[in-house]
Amino acid sequence: MDAIDNAVIWFNDWYGYVLIVLLVSAGLWWGVRTVIVQIRMLPDMARAIRETPPKAAGGTAQISAFRAFCISAASRVGTGNVAGVAVAITIGGPGAVFWMWVLAIIGGATAFVESTLGQLYKVRDGADYRGGPAYYLSRGIKNKRLGMVMALLFAAAITFTYGFVFNSVQSNSITAAVDLAIGSESAWVPYVIGGALATLTALVIFGGVHRISGVSQVVVPLMAIIYVGLALVIVVTNLSQLPGVIRDIVESAFGFREFVGGGVWAAIMQGMRRGLFSNEAGMGSTPNAAATAAVSHPAKQGLVQTLGVYFDTLVVCSATAFIILMSDPDYGSGVEGVQLTQTALAHHIGSWAGPLLAIILFFLAFSSVIGNYYYGETNIVFFTRRPWVLNVFRVAVIGFVFFGAIAKVSLVWNLADVFSSLMATVNIVGLFLIGGVAVALLSNYSVQRAKGLDPIFNRNDIPGLTGVECWDGTDPETIRDPLPESVLLK
- Determine the pLDDT at residue 55: 64
Q: Give the Cβ contact number of residue 472 at 10 Å.
A: 11
Phi/psi-derived region of residue 473, left when phi > 0, alpha when psi is between -120 and 50, beta in every other case: left
Q: Please state which of the ranges 30-44, 83-97, 296-310 shows the lowest mean pLDDT.
A: 83-97
Rounded-to-integer distance, Cα 287 and Cα 323, Å: 31
Closest to 135 in 3D by CA, of 149, 154, 122: 122
Q: Which domains does the chain have, with CATH numbers?
A: 2-451 (1.20.1740)
- Determine the pLDDT at residue 138: 93
CB 346 within 8 A of CB 258: no
Q: Please state which of the ranges 37-51, 177-191, 431-445 shows the lowest mean pLDDT.
A: 177-191
Q: What values do phi and psi take at 129, rounded to 5?
A: -130, 155
Q: Give the Cβ contact number of residue 90 at 10 Å.
A: 20
Q: Which amino acid is at 3?
A: A
CB 27 within 8 A of CB 281: yes
pLDDT above 80 (res 347): no
For the chain, give the percent of residues with pLDDT over 70: 75
Q: If pLDDT is split at 50, 70 and 90, which confidence band does 260 have?
A: very low
Closest to 398 in 3D by CA, of 362, 358, 360, 366: 366
Please report the DSSP string for 268-285 in residue order: HHHHHHHHHHHH-TTTSS
Closest to 131 in 3D by CA, of 163, 156, 155, 164: 155
pLDDT above 80 (res 1): no
Q: What values do phi and psi take at 293, rounded to 5?
A: -75, 145
The most confident of the ranges 52-56, 131-135, 313-317 is 131-135
What average pLDDT does range 2-11 have in this prediction?
Answer: 67
- Enter the DSSP assignment of 322: H
More confident position, 20 or 13: 20
CB 98 within 8 A of CB 267: yes
CB 119 within 8 A of CB 439: no
Alpha carbon of 6 to those of 2, 12, 410: distances in Å? 6, 10, 11
The most confident of the ranges 24-33, 224-233, 305-314 is 24-33
Beta-bridge partner residues of 125: 128
Q: 3-state class of 333 per DSSP?
A: coil
- Determine the pLDDT at residue 437: 94
What average pLDDT does range 28-40 have in this prediction?
Answer: 93
Q: What is the pLDDT of residues 373-428, one digit of tens each?
A: 888 888 888 888 888 888 898 899 888 888 877 876 566 566 667 777 888 899 99
Rounded-to-integer distance, Cα 428 and Cα 25, Å: 10
pLDDT above 70 (res 44): yes
Closest to 227 in 3D by CA, of 332, 90, 78, 114: 78
Q: Which helix (H) or strand (E) is 208 found in, with range?
A: helix 208-237
Q: Give the Cβ contact number of residue 403 at 10 Å.
A: 18
Q: What values do phi and psi take at 480, rounded to 5?
A: -155, 165
Q: What is the mean pLDDT of the chain?
A: 79
Rounded-to-integer distance, Cα 356 and Cα 354, Å: 5
Beta-bridge partner residues of 130: 123
Q: If pLDDT is split at 50, 70 and 90, which confidence band does 121 have?
A: very high
Q: Which helix (H) or strand (E) is 128 found in, with range?
A: strand 128-130
pLDDT above 90 (res 167): no
Q: If pLDDT is split at 50, 70 and 90, which confidence band does 444 have?
A: very high
Q: What is the pLDDT of residues 230-243, one digit of tens each?
A: 788 888 888 888 88
pLDDT above 50 (res 256): no
Closest to 435 in 3D by CA, of 299, 312, 313: 299
Q: If pLDDT is split at 50, 70 and 90, which confidence band does 30 have?
A: very high
Closest to 470 in 3D by CA, of 125, 144, 71, 48: 125
441 burial level (CB within 10 Å; 0-12, 13-18, 19+): buried
Q: Number of C-alpha atoms within 13 angstroms, CB side, residue 303?
A: 26
- Determine the pLDDT at residue 310: 87
- Determine the pLDDT at residue 26: 92
Rounded-to-integer distance, Cα 27 and Cα 292, Å: 24
Beta-bridge partner residues of 129: 124
The most confident of the ranges 285-289, 413-417, 429-433 is 429-433
Model confidence, pTM:
0.85
CB 408 within 8 A of CB 175: no
Please report the DSSP string for 69-101 in residue order: HHHHHHHHSSHIIIIIHHHHHHHH-THHHHHHH
Closest to 322 in 3D by CA, of 101, 53, 15: 101
Buried b (16+ CB within 10 A) or exposed e, 61-72: ebbbbbbbbbbb
- Determine the pLDDT at residue 133: 93
More confident position, 375 or 476: 375
pLDDT above 70 (res 433): yes
Rounded-to-integer distance, Cα 453 and Cα 181, Å: 53
What average pLDDT does range 282-310 have in this prediction?
Answer: 89
- Determine the pLDDT at residue 339: 67
> If you compute the radius of gyration of the chain from its CA atoms, what whole number of angstroms results?
22
